[in-house]
A and B are shown apart, each in its own frame.
Chain A
Amino acid sequence: MATKTNSIFGGSDIKLSRRTFTKLTALGTAATISGINSVSAYPEVSQLIADVSAAPAPGVKLVKTICSHCAVGCGVLGRVEDGVLTGLEPWTDHPVCAGGMCSKGTSIAEMVNSENRLKYPMKKVGGTWKQILWNEALDEIANKVKEIKANYGPDSVMWIGSAKVTNEECYLFRKFAAFNGTNNVDHQARICHSTTVAGMAKTWSYGAMTNSWNDMRHSKLIFFCGENAAESHPVSMQHILEAKNRGAKFIVADPRFTKSAALADQYVRFRPGTDIPLILGICHEIIKNDWHNKDFIEKRTYGFEQFKEVVDKYPPEVVADITWVPADTIRQLAYEWAHNDPACICWAMGATQHTVGTNNIRSFACLEALMGYVGKSGGGCNAFRGHDNVQGATDMCVLSHWLPAYYGLTEGSWKHWIGVWNEHAPITFEEMKAKFDEYDGKSLMHVKGLTVSRWYEGVLDASVKQPNPVKMVFVWGHSLNSISEMKRMKQALEGVEMIVGVDPHATIASSLADRDDGIIILPASTVFEKDGSVTNSARQVQWRNKLVEPWEDSKPDMWIMKELADRLGFGAHFTYDSPEDVLREINRGACVIMMRESPERLKRQQENCADFSIEDCQAKGGPCKGEYWGLPWPCWNDEHPGTPILYRNDIPISEGGNEFRPRFRAAGSTDGNPISDDGVSMLGAAYGYPEGYDQMNCDGTPGAGWKFELDCDWKEMIAQNKCPSGAGRARFRAWDLPDPVPIHREPIESPRPDLVDEYPTYDDVEDHFRVKCLYKTIQDERKNLVNEYPLILTTGRQVEHMGGGAETRSCHYLVELQPEMYAEINPAVAADIGVKHWDYVWVETKRGRCKVRAYVTERVNDKEVFMPYHWAGWFEGVSYADRYPSGCGELALGDSCNIITVDGYDRSTNMQETKACLCRVKKA
């Protein structure tokens, strides 16, 4: 270090001289005496510069990738220049979107380069955020995991995973939770389409969209029930409006007059939470008029008579009283359904997010089965899934009650996957079992874990059905303001010992809790900074190419998992040469959905995308001839073209045909003879085999072998036109559900006490995914709540924002379009409470209140209030902006509606009932 010297540059009167050297001498002396001269002795960690030979060549490239927002899966070209994403170009020959994108998609470049992204791993210490190095962070996290496991057991760590990472990373995440000895792993699907999966799977075995986006072009009637595609799946409207152009009818049934309703031929407003009576009312008229498809029902379904018995109780007059829909309209809708062949039904959260969500979807499936439109081009149950890879994450089962590809938690299922994992690195069933705790005499290996919708109860409720409450939570690519009961969740976040947030942004996982310590946030790369596959709602698997290197110090999720796995003692199981290798492992083991889309075939499709027709997504020529875009699963082998329409059995399997799986077999069933609980055969008419056939082993004998045999390519059976998963019947009556046939049950908070008496909710459940779940108790308590809270609150989407909104509320263009949180209220209600458009109001429920702008519109009627859910940064009217250093918050903050939504959950899946509760509105 320089020492103070007296050799000041010769005097005090150096003036600016034209001689450069005088200045520089002065500078030199200044540097010496100030001490600045010797500062190069300060240690430096990073090396800034490298030799140019290390770098890739410059120039502009257009790189194919898939948008990261919704499950339509639009293709787009990233314009990459010299390693920088400079913008986007349209991918005009992409079979699904033909170049089209919505405002979110067109903002991708801004999102990737956003100044709001997290750059470095950080840790909150004593109330201040400190930077830490990756190694330090990972060491600390791993040590904490080990400590929690040692002191409390592996189930005291909650792994909240993501629908926004690649398939490979989803698969590894589920595997990661398994290796950590717990089933407490879950992701957004729980709060999104878990009831879809349950509802459809329980009807006809798979719980995915049966047809595809493009296929809707061939519909004669497109029926939305709780779907607002103009805002949630904009590019899907390309196909729907094309169908309309060709003469199809487009009917929107929704509590709100949405942007989709504006484009519909007919709009039907119905009361939130009354989807089932509406659908059953339609079924009632169809059956009464003898319009149902008796042939289909007889040959391919089970339980029609019991279904009819229930439907008889929902004539239009009864339904009208429940739903707000006039009896004549119900009759007319039934007419439309019967006389527009084929018709498809489309839905999203409007139908799924209810205590009766599973039943809602069951009723949709029953309607399709009633008319025999399922399994046809233009028909089907089109579940419009949410996030870009929520289908993939669901398929990979980042879920607490399944192993990847919908294997359950039975010993057989575990052994199947352990067999696959053992091919990668040694692991036995006993070793895996030893990782799990026991509770109540059972190994928790076989017990469903906590869900994302109620994980916080695992922290707060001491009676949680596992050895100890949750003490540590990973919020890995999941926003927290899309989950209801935010006050409870805030408490839970304050109660755990450590929160680990892994995300491209510092989401509210880092700021919601009032705590000074115990939070570590890791910057994750976006999907544009790595290779990997993604599955859209139509089961089409697409490959994404890496556009640019990870932003700042962010890392891909796969890398983070491997590093943690190394420290936790099972790194070999998470060490792969490439994402392609992981996909190959998935191809190998995911037999239940037969996900055999290899990386090579996917990339070849991407290259030859122009050969695929927009009408049916099939390649009409070229190297991929005959293949369907994305090789939708089931994709039985390396020659199979994919199955674009599930359950379509008028074509051979080799061309994409498919059958209902005889999945449901009650006691008394044998191999070859699955029966219902009332002794009816569950085999149904099949292509080429009118008597049907059971699921089979590789050699064709009846058995469940198709699910477990890794080396069978099924070419022999397919050549005989046999579907390895069997040919069975769709169920009108699902005997293993609390309501075998869907019936109406009022929402937990209902505006009609009289209907609560007639159509009460479920009985309380003691153990619903490890926590107690109240139904009847709270419905009874709140039976007359409508006297205090007279309006129905429902929630939903804005086109400009996505999910929890951390990404989109960091984009200038999107924030320009939607800068503030609001609640839609009807002009009559606004007049009553004395507010004008854009005044502040309080929206209050029993849970709490939100301060938002009033958006006065006729979209909602005078009994409803609507709030979008993408907002965070305010809590009950108090801005959290001061939790961010000044000027550093997200571009747009707002109150979260999930602070006030209701504490009701679907009876089968624990899905939150965010679509119907009671509220009141006051001027603020």
Chain B
Amino acid sequence: MTTYKILNVIERCIDCGGCFAICKDQNKVPEGTARVRVVTVNEGRLGEKNVAISCMHCDNPPCVAACPVKGITKREDGIVINDKDKCIGCGYCGWACPFGAPKYPHDLPAKLKEYEGIMDKCTFCVQPFEQGVERDQKPRCALFCATKGRLGGDIAQITPLYNAMKAGNVERLQGRV
């Protein structure tokens, strides 16, 4: 049973913006909003770290529970998607999400005006911004990650990669000069 997930090896994130840009390009995400964004903590000093924040397609998504119109669903394959036609833009999912993934874009171009204020988030590349044909689950952010630190795919396959990448780093951090 495939379960799709996204995992970040934050020790590998260099804040290159690749995930941000390719997601926007592939999913036609309009200017002013993003489905994945790199957040930097401790900028400019020891302990500086970067995390690419997006929807994590949680096992037990708080957003699904919070949505009053049952507009968000977790599919069998693990991907959490939302139906823009059901969404009323109430913002509850935004409150519920620990990652701040749901966005409610305003200032959209004319042809997307109907989606103003409607929740948008990462759909594992299954649905572009304009709800169109469903596509393959190939998260571009992970495929294009410069350092291969952002993993996206079947959890059975990416967990060993994640562990391998973290293992070395744990030693490194302990012996850090």
Contacts and interface: CB of A to CB of B under 8 A. Distances in A.
A125 to B, nearest CB: 36
B44 interface: yes
Contact of A110 (B25, B34, B172): B25
B16 A257 contact: no
Contacts of A262: 48-50
A552 to B, nearest CB: 21
B21 A245 contact: no
B46 A241 contact: no
B165 A102 contact: no
B15 A857 contact: no
B45 interface: yes
Interface in B42-64: 43-46, 48-50
Given A110-B25, A257-B45, A799 B20 contact: no
A263 B14 CA distance: 8
A744 to B, nearest CB: 26
Contacts of B31: 812, 816
A238 interface: yes
Contacts of B48: 257, 259, 261-262
B158 interface: no
A230 B149 CA distance: 13
A245 B165 contact: yes
Interface in B145-159: 145-149
Interface residues of A, number: 48
B18 A234 contact: yes
Interface residues of B, number: 40
Contact of A813 (B25, B45, B147, B176): B25
Contacts of B177: 265-266, 332
B140 interface: yes
Contact of B14 (A106, A109, A230): A230
A238 B12 CA distance: 8
B148 A238 contact: yes
Contact of B168 (A110, A244, A857): A244
B92 interface: no
B91 interface: no
A230 B16 contact: yes
A617 interface: no
A859 B44 contact: yes
Interface in A251-273: 257, 259-263, 265-267
B43 A857 contact: yes
A816 B34 CA distance: 10
A107 B17 CA distance: 10
B169 interface: yes
B101 interface: no
Contacts of A799: 14-17
A100 B168 contact: no
Interface string A68-108: 00000000000000000001101010000111111111110
Contacts of A104: 21
Nearest to B26: A87
A247 interface: yes
A821 interface: no
A859 B25 contact: no
A101 B144 contact: yes
Interface string A223-251: 00000001100110110010011110000
A817 interface: yes
Nearest to B32: A816
B127 to A, nearest CB: 16
A257 B47 CA distance: 11
What secondary structure prevails in chain A residues at the interface with B?
mixed
Given A110-B25, A857-B44, A859-B44, A234 B144 contact: no
B21 A814 contact: yes
A100 B149 CA distance: 10
A106 B44 contact: no
Contacts of B18: 100-103, 105-106, 234
Nearest to B165: A245
Interface in A328-383: 332
B118 interface: no
B140 A90 contact: yes
A99 B144 contact: yes
Contact of A237 (B43, B144, B146): B146
A461 interface: no
B22 A241 contact: no
B44 A100 contact: no
A110 B176 CA distance: 41
B143 interface: yes
Contacts of A106: 18, 21-22, 25, 144
B16 A234 contact: yes
Contacts of B11: 241, 263
Contact of A100 (B20, B24, B148): B148
Interface string A749-773: 0000000000000000000000000
Interface string A308-341: 0000000000000000000000001000000000
B15 A230 contact: yes
B45 A858 contact: yes
A800 interface: yes
A234 B147 contact: yes
Nearest to A856: B44
Contact of B172 (A101, A265, A857): A265
Interface in A414-455: none
Given A99-B144, A238-B148, A800 B17 contact: yes
Contacts of A813: 17, 20-21, 24-25
A246 B172 CA distance: 9
B43 A858 contact: yes
B76 interface: no
A817 B38 CA distance: 10
Given A110-B25, A245-B169, A234 B14 contact: yes
A98 B168 CA distance: 21
Nearest to B176: A265
Q: Which of A100, A105, A244 has the most CB of B within 10 A?
A: A100
Contacts of B168: 244-247
A217 to B, nearest CB: 12
Nearest to B14: A230
Contacts of A88: 22, 25
Contact of B147 (A90, A241, A265, A332): A241
Contact of A817 (B17, B22, B45, B140): B17
B21 A100 contact: no
Q: Which of B147, B148, B167, B171 has the most CB of A within 10 A?
A: B147
Nearest to B149: A241
Contacts of A800: 17
A107 B46 CA distance: 31
10 contacts: A87-B25, A90-B143, A99-B143, A234-B146, A235-B146, A237-B14, A245-B165, A246-B168, A260-B14, A812-B31
- In the complex, the 10 A-B pairs of residues with the closest C-beta atoms, listed nearest first: A103-B17, A245-B168, A262-B48, A858-B44, A106-B22, A102-B16, A230-B14, A859-B44, A234-B16, A103-B21
Interface of A: 87-88, 90, 92, 97-107, 109-110, 230-231, 234-235, 237-238, 241, 244-247, 257, 259-263, 265-267, 332, 799-800, 812-814, 816-817, 857-859
Interface of B: 11-12, 14-18, 20-22, 24-26, 31-32, 34, 43-46, 48-50, 140, 143-149, 164-165, 167-169, 171-172, 176-177
Given A102-B146, A262-B49, A265-B176, 12 more contacts: A90-B143, A100-B147, A109-B25, A230-B14, A234-B16, A238-B146, A245-B167, A266-B177, A812-B31, A816-B34, A857-B44, A859-B43
